[in-house]
Amino acid sequence: MTEKDSFRFDPHGDSCIIQGDNLAVLSTLPDESFTVIYLDPPFNTGRAQVRRTTKSIPVADGEGDRVGFSGRSYETVMGQLRRYDDSFADYLAFLEPRLVEARRLLTHDGTLYLHLDYREVHYAKIMLDALFGRDSFLNEIIWAYDFGGKSTRKWPSKHDTILVYVKDPKKYHFDSAEVDREPYMAPGLVGPEKAARGKLPTDVWWHTIVSPTGKEKTGYPTQKPVGILRRIIAASSRPGDWVLDFFAGSGTTGAAAQLLGRKFVCVDVNPEAVEIMSERLPDTPVHTV
């Protein structure tokens, strides 16, 4: 589409691809619509100075993380983050309102997966602790891979980090029985039956990158493997649930959701990304917002 349309999300409708600014798109989506939200945001910001101060909101007695005047309970929703590089400050200023929206859009049993690299992940975790609450932190997943350049001046960086937060730490959905199993590193130690079955993945995932010559390759520079997204969606959603990715890129989230019988909304502002997703998911309608 070349003209903007009047897209309206229908929880009983079909999956879709949306081209548009994700913050504008998110504001049109209804509360608690998505069981899984996966985000793989870019790191491409300037060096603008940003300052944050502590902001607290009053809550019911005994529910906050600090006590104030007259014994009233408060919850800190954003604390001051001290940084060594202003690019981090600018990046988190960009990311914060989108994560606020993500929390709003998660179902009561929903899960957020935020995929970052070593440069931003520590700062993002502080912010997510403030936005979701530390009790909502579920996992720090390390995705380790073995291709690409190898430095001889330091330990080569060969992993990404996926932060996992749940909307409600008492009600979130997680089904380990649906997750693909892995070979044991020492199968002789567990016996033939267990070795044949394989083991459940831990929080360290050894999985190759998308092969430059493989059928899965779309040509999009930040494409992630379907295997990673299949594992995420299988564990944290059920058939028929909705999945959201608003930094959708090559559409791997949509491809994995489709394989598993989930519905999805994939959002990206980049026309090239939308074109690749349209080719990869040819039966999925595209809206421009």
Which DSSP helix (H) or strand (E) runs through 16? strand 16-19
What is the reported pLDDT for 146? 84
The count of C-alpha atoms lying within 13 angstroms of the C-alpha of 71, restricted to the half-sphere facing its C-beta, is 2
Return the biggest CA–CA distance within the chain: 66
Query: From CA 254, how far away is CA 13, in angstroms rounded?
Result: 15
What is the reported pLDDT for 54? 44
Would you kindly state where each structural domain of the chain is located, as residue ranges?
16-47+85-288, 50-80
Residues in CB range of 289: below 8 A, 6 or more apart: 4, 5, 7, 18, 19, 20, 21, 24, 25, 28
Q: Which residues of the chain have pLDDT under 70?
A: 1-6, 43-89
pTM above 0.75, yes or no: yes
What is the reported pLDDT for 148? 72
Task: Tell me which DSSP letter residue 180 carries.
Answer: P
Residue 204: how many other CB atoms lie within 10 Å:
11
CATH superfamily name and code, 16-47+85-288: Vaccinia Virus protein VP39 (3.40.50.150)
The first and second tokens of residue 196, run together, are 């044949």
Query: From CA 256, how far away is CA 180, in angstroms rounded?
Result: 13
Residues in CB range of 2: below 8 A, 6 or more apart: 288
Residue by residue, DSSP assigns 125-174 as HHHHHHHH-GGGEEEEEEEE---S---SSS----EEEEEEEES-TTT---
Characterise 66 by phi-psi region: left (phi > 0), alpha (psi -120 to 50), beta (else). Answer: beta
List, edge to edge, every strand of the sheet that includes 66-67: 55-58, 73-78, 66-67
What is the reported pLDDT for 3? 45
